[in-house]
């Protein structure tokens, strides 16, 4: 179970890092200014960018609309980054 938690934490961190990069590309230096501009709860958005919360698909879809990108594009964009290794499934 610890391996799955570490994997999830790594994936959430990677998603958050990419969202932070997209935010900065939009010209927002702070999480707070970005969140307020798009009517997002600043604390919740901070947690998402820091990989501290398991975001929902609807939240991810909303963020993708803000960045004018599809969920598929976002994950393809993530796929070009350093790979996260999935543990082999035990039988």
- pLDDT above 90 for 87: no
The full DSSP string for 9-27 is HHHHHHHHHHHHHHHHHTT
Whole-angstrom distance, CA of residue 38 vs CA of residue 34: 6
The token pair that represents 25 in the structure block? 């590309």
- pLDDT above 60 for 82: no
The token pair that represents 37 in the structure block? 């501009």
- 78: confidence class by pLDDT, cuts 50, 70, 90: confident
Fill in the DSSP letter of residue 41.
-
- Residue position matching structure tokens 């039988």: 91
Whole-angstrom distance, CA of residue 42 vs CA of residue 36: 7
pLDDT tens-digit series, residues 28-75: 999 999 999 999 999 999 999 999 999 999 999 999 999 999 999 998
Q: Can you name the CATH fold of 2-79?
A: 434 Repressor (Amino-terminal Domain) (1.10.260)
């Amino acid at each position: 179970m610890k391996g799955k938690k570490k994997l999830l934490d790594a994936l959430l961190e990677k998603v958050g890092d990419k969202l932070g990069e997209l935010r900065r590309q939009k010209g927002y230096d702070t999480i707070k200014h970005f969140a307020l501009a798009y009517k997002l709860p600043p604390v919740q958005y901070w947690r998402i960018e820091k990989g501290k919360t398991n975001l929902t698909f609807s939240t991810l879809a909303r963020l993708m609309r803000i960045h004018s990108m599809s969920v598929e594009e976002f994950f393809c964009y993530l796929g070009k980054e350093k790979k996260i290794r999935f543990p082999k499934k035990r039988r």
